[in-house]
Amino acid sequence: MTKRKRPSQGNRKPQRPDQAAAKRQEERAPAEQPIPQHMEPQPAPLEQVDPGQDAERPPMASVDGRSAWRRLLRMGRPRPTKANLLSALLAVLLGTAIATQVQLTNSRGLEDLSQSDLVRVLDDVSVRSSRLDQQVRELEATRDRLKNGTGDTAEAMQQAENRVDTLGILAGAVPAHGPGIHVTISDPDRQVTGPVVLDLIQELRDAGAEAIDVGGVRVVASTYIGNQNSAIQVDGHSVARPIEVKAIGDSKTLASAMTIPGGVVESVRQKGGTAVVTEVDDVRITSVHEATPMTHATPAE
């Protein structure tokens, strides 16, 4: 048997106790060494798939567009609570009421008037027709007397003077007075514009007004109505507010023409203003219209 030689104590270097403990710890647990760059893990190569194998794989589930929209609509749909249902019902009822009121206001005819309103309209038309018939009879009688020579010179002169007065009143060349109405239009918000005043003048003319004054301006056949900076102008003259209108004619017929359903009073009320119609026994119109010289028209023989 061969005996192993022990290393001589002279060749060993003495070690300290802490160094010996550290060496024993290194021998028990292998030291963590950094992985070299060429040893880093590489990603697995892509697997090559045979095209013939695609038929064997199950197809992927496709996203249906309709189902996606349906899902979004379902998510955004409000919850049918009592409060939401009550709000929707009130909104529908309010919209229906507004639409119905606007339609009735815009297309209100004789078939929508009450029995009392129809009776009043019929009375106004009857009175106007009777007055026109009487004027026609008087003019025909005057024509016959003058044509047959049964009248004297004084009567002819009187008829001529009456004709001049009538033409002067219609032309606005002379002041006038007689029974009629006063109309006062108050409009704090200035929503009553020229078209409303023009409708008022047309209604008065249709009702047989013989002389009309708007804000101190005499209204004749050539009168025009306009607006300028929220101010109403009559023949170029600004009219102060509240608007004062005077009209001479049959007072009851003129007043009925103003207050008829769908007439001027109702139109002003819809604009946020008020129109007050007053029957007067003696209306005095002192304003006159300056006649414009004719440049083209001449009397025909």
Would you write out the chain's pLDDT as a tens digit for each of its 301 residues? 444 555 444 445 555 555 655 666 655 555 445 555 445 555 555 455 455 444 455 555 455 667 777 777 776 666 667 676 777 777 887 788 777 766 665 555 556 667 776 777 777 777 777 777 787 887 777 777 767 665 567 767 777 787 788 888 888 889 999 999 999 999 888 889 999 999 999 999 988 899 999 999 999 988 989 888 888 999 989 999 999 999 999 999 999 889 888 888 998 999 899 999 999 999 999 999 887 777 888 877 6
DSSP string, 261-298: TTSHHHHHHHTT-EEEEEEEEEEEE----PPPPPSS--
Q: Give pLDDT, residue 212.
A: 95
d(CA 108, CA 110): 7
| 231-234: strand order across its sheet | 225-228, 231-234, 237-239
* 248 burial via Cβ count (<10 Å: 0-12, 13-18, 19+): buried
Dihedral, CA of residue 187, residue 207, residue 277 and residue 186, to nearest 10 = 10
Record the pTM: 0.53
Q: How far is it, in rounded angstroms, from Cα 255 to Cα 201?
A: 13
Show the tokens assigned to 278.
Answer: 């007053």
Q: Note the pLDDT of residue 168.
A: 85
Q: Whats the size of the chain, residue-wise?
A: 301
Neighbour-count burial of 274, counting CB atoms closer than 10 A to its CB (0-12 exposed, 13-18 middle, 19+ buried): middle
Please confirm whether the linkage preceding 242 is cis (ω < 30° from 0). Answer: yes
